[in-house]
Amino acid sequence: MSNKLRLGMIGGGKGAFIGAVHRIAAQIDSEYELVCGAFSSNPDLSIESGEDLGLDPARCYGSYAELFEKEQLLSKNERMQVVSIVTPNHVHFAPAKLALQNGFHVILDKPMAFSLAEAKELKAFAEATKQRFCLTHTYTGYPMVKEARQQIAQNKLGIIKKIYVEYPQGWLSKYEESGDNKQAAWRTDPSKSGMGGALGDIGTHAFNLAEYITGLKVTQINADINTVVAGRKLDDDATVLLKFNNGASGILFATQVAAGEENNIKIRVYGEKGGLEWQQENANVLLLKWADQPCQILKTGGAYLGKFAKHNTRTPGGHPEGYLEAFANLYRNFALTIKAELNHEAPTEEMLDFTGIDDGVRGMAFIEQSIASGNSTEKWMNFVV
């Protein structure tokens, strides 16, 4: 009998970017088998997409409602166990809620929902049903991000004082949403994306990375929110001042109008003893900067790294591991956790190291409260979840 978890997918059909990424990530470590899906809101396209992936035509469904209804009719040894939801933001809540209600574990693209209210309701369903929930904040999957987190958790930098996190993109520096760019069309549409544009799309990644690496929680925010490109309906540029629960301060900026930039999310953290720096465009390197000794360069695959970095590394030093592998680390850790629990074993802390429901709720609070701060004359607001 196969030891793979049976995976279903909602969204990610023909022409969708992120669906293929999720499928690759799920298969890198052979922890999942894709067995069914509802790949599009267009029933014909959904079925065609599933058949193109080599699935049993009987398990290529015309809607996610049909998927849950018919999968539940299958025997326990046949039906899917985990569902991956890779739809636009406005189609996150309903299928995720149905999945939890029907006893399926959930992997969900970020941001978690269309609104903070939806996110809180999903959290309540997850807690009530005891189903596992993974939110795909990809950048937390990089080995050197894991190492940065462990360096801080071990107090190597001392008390954290300052955090800078940035996510510059340039792909929306012009008005792209009126043409054939499907990604631009839905990501800038408030009826599909929610109230956050750049904030929801990439700002939530930066926010999550700051909290994940430092282990700190944001307690106050002061936001400057802009829509730079004429005619755009949502923000495309944001700068947010942050205060954390240990007294540290930070600056977050997320922009999609920085022409020439690609996807170089970057973070710098400074403590009383030194600082660290990581960026996606040089993802295999973590810089440690010390007040009283030379800078250190740590690299993926090094024998000197901690257990979390090693657990999430697949290749020897000098062999780059990138975006797909980072994505796959979330899928693998989630699978290992579920399998351990199916075997009545306690998952290890390395297995449990994936972003989840609480991160999703905080991300939605970040979007809504940043928008509120940007619209307010008082600016500084307590961060309340």
Mean pLDDT across the stretch 60-82? 97
Burial code (b: 16+ CB inside 10 Å, e: under 16) for 315-344 equals eeeeeebebebbbbbbbbbbbbbbbeeeee
Task: Point out which residues pair with 107 in neighbouring strands.
Answer: 84, 134
Strands 285-290 and 296-299: antiparallel
239: left (phi over 0), alpha (psi -120 to 50) or beta: beta
Under 8 Å between Cβ of 338 and 81: yes
Neighbours of 58 (CB within 10 A): 8
Q: What is the pLDDT of residue 201?
A: 96
Quote the tokens at residue 23.
Answer: 């499928």
**Per-residue model confidence as pLDDT tens digits over 21-49:** 999 999 999 999 999 999 999 999 999 99
| DSSP output for 348-370 | PTTTT-S--HHHHHHHHHHHHHH
Q: Are strands 249-255 and 266-271 parallel, antiparallel or unpaired?
A: unpaired
Pairing of strands 160-168, 266-271: antiparallel
CA distance 298 to 131: 37
- pLDDT tens per residue across span 256-302: 999 999 999 999 999 999 999 999 999 999 999 999 999 999 999 99
What is the arithmetic mean of pLDDT over 237-255? Answer: 98
What number of other Cβ atoms are within 10 A of residue 230's Cβ? Answer: 6
Q: Which domains does the chain have, with CATH numbers?
A: 5-136 (3.40.50.720), 140-317+361-375 (3.30.360.10)
Is omega for the bond preceding 190 within 30 degrees of 0, making it cis? Answer: no
In this prediction, what percent of the chain has a pLDDT beyond 90?
A: 96
Angle between helices 93-101 and 64-71 (to 10 degrees): 10
- Closest CA relative to residue 103, chosen from 136, 79, 78: 79
pLDDT tens for each residue of 188-208? 999 999 999 999 999 999 999
Counting Cα atoms < 13 Å in the Cβ hemisphere of 61 gives: 18
Is the pLDDT at 15 greater than 50, yes or no? yes
Q: Contact 192/90 with Cβ under 8 angstroms?
A: yes
Q: What is the CA radius of gyration of the chain?
A: 21
Whole-structure pTM value: 0.96
Cα–Cα distances in Å, from 137 out to 49, 61, 256?
A: 26, 27, 18
d(CA 142, CA 309): 8
Specify the pLDDT at position 178: 85
pLDDT computed for residue 241 by the predictor: 98
pLDDT bin (cut points 50, 70, 90) of residue 1 is very low
* Band of residue 17 on the pLDDT scale cut at 50, 70, 90: confident
Contacts of 305 (CB under 8 A, 6+ apart): 143, 147, 298, 313
Q: Is the pLDDT of residue 340 over 50?
A: yes
**Strand pairing of 82-85 and 105-109?**
parallel
Q: What is the pLDDT of residues 99-129, one digit of tens each?
A: 999 999 999 999 999 999 999 999 999 999 9
Q: Are 107 and 136 in contact (CB under 8 A)?
A: yes
- 275, 285 in Cβ contact below 8 A? no
Q: Which residue has the tokens 């999957």?
A: 141
